[in-house]
Structure 1
Amino acid sequence: MKIAMVSVFVEDPVKAFKYYTEVLGFVEVMYSPENYLAIVKSPMEGNGTTLLLEPTEPDGIEIAKQYKKKLYEMGIPVISFSATDIYETAAELKKKGVRFKKDPVKTDYGCEAIFDDSNGNYIQLFQLNE
C-alpha cells in the first residue's frame, strides 16, 4: 500500500484552495467550491499523495473543529512538507506573505520551520540531512 490522500481540516476550503495553489504552489486535482471540495497536490510529484482540504465550516464535524483549534493553540503542525532547500523555500514563502511561527533552524535530522497556512493550521517545513 501507499498513501494516496491525506486530509487537512480547514475553515474555508475556497480560501484554503486559493492559498495552497497561489501561495504555496500546489496544483489543482479537483475543485468544486459549491460542494466545499478542494483537492491539491505537489507539482513535484506527478502521481504523488493528494491533499484534501477538508472543511470544518459550514456545519463541520464538531470534534474536528475542537481538534484543529487545540492543535493550533498548542502550536503543533498538522502536516509536514519537505523542501530541497528550506532556506530558499522559506524566503520565497515570506515574500508571498507567509507568516512563520518558527524560522528555519538546524536539528539533529536536518532543518525545520513552522508556518501558518492562514486557515487555522500550522505546517512544518523540513529538510532532511543528506
Structure 2
Amino acid sequence: MISGFSHVTCYVLDQDRAKAFYTEKLGFTLNTDVTMGDGFEGAGHGFRWLTVSPPGNPELEIILADPHMGNDDESAAAIRALVAKGALGTGVFETDDVRKTYAELSARGVEFLQEPVERPYGLEAILRDDSGNWFSLTARVAGT
C-alpha cells in the first residue's frame, strides 16, 4: 500500500543557482547534495542529487534536477526549453498566511507573477523560481 509522497522532481536550469534560491530566498532546508557515480544514467556518467525540503517538512524532498538526469540529450533540451519559457507549473506551496509570506518572500527578491487573490479554494499568490518554474502559494479554505 502506498503511504505517502517522499520526493518530487523540479527541473532547474542551474543547480547551484537553484540551491541558493530555494535555501536562501525560500528558506528551505538543504537535505542532500551529492554527485552520484557512473552507472546512474544511460549515458554512463553520474549526476548531482540535490534535494531541499520546506521548513519543518523534512519528509517531503524536492529534487532540484538538471534536465539531463534520466533523460537523453533531446529530451533534456526540450525540458530545459519548457522550464526557461516558464511553461511548467510545478506545484502548490501551502502557507497559513499568504499575505505575510508574500511580503517576506518579496522582500527577499522572490518574483511573483500574481499578488494574493481570493479564489474558491483559498487565498493564492503565484511565485516563480530562478529557472522559470511557477508555483501557487496558497492558504486553503477549510474543507478544500
Return the TM-score normalized by structure 2: 0.77
Deviations 1:71-115 (A, max 9, x none): 664655212111110000000000001111111100001011111
Moved over 6 A (4+): none
1:128 equivalent in structure 2: 140
The residue number in structure 2 matching 1:48 is: 59
Give the drift of 1:21. 0.4
1:29-62 alpha-carbon deviations (Å, 9 max, x no partner): 11137953211111222x421110011269x643
State the SS of the aligned residue for 1:36.
Answer: strand
Identity rate, percent: 27
Q: Is the 8 A contact 2:31 2:51 kept in 1?
A: yes
Tell me how far apart the structure 2 counterparts of residues 33 and 22 of structure 1 sit (CA, whole Å): 22
Partner AA of 1:21 in structure 2: T
Match among 14, 24, 27 for residue 26 of structure 2? 24
Unaligned runs of 5+ in 2: 37-46
Q: Structure 1: which 5+ residue stretches go unaligned?
A: none
Larger Rg: 2
Matching residue of 1:94: 106
Judging changes above 3 Å, is the alpha-carbon distance between structure 1 residues 82 and 104 closer, same or farther for their aligned structure 2 residues? same
Q: How many residues align?
A: 129
- Superposed CA RMSD: 2.5
Contact 2:11 2:83 in 1 (8 A): no
Q: CA deviation at 1:65?
A: 4.2
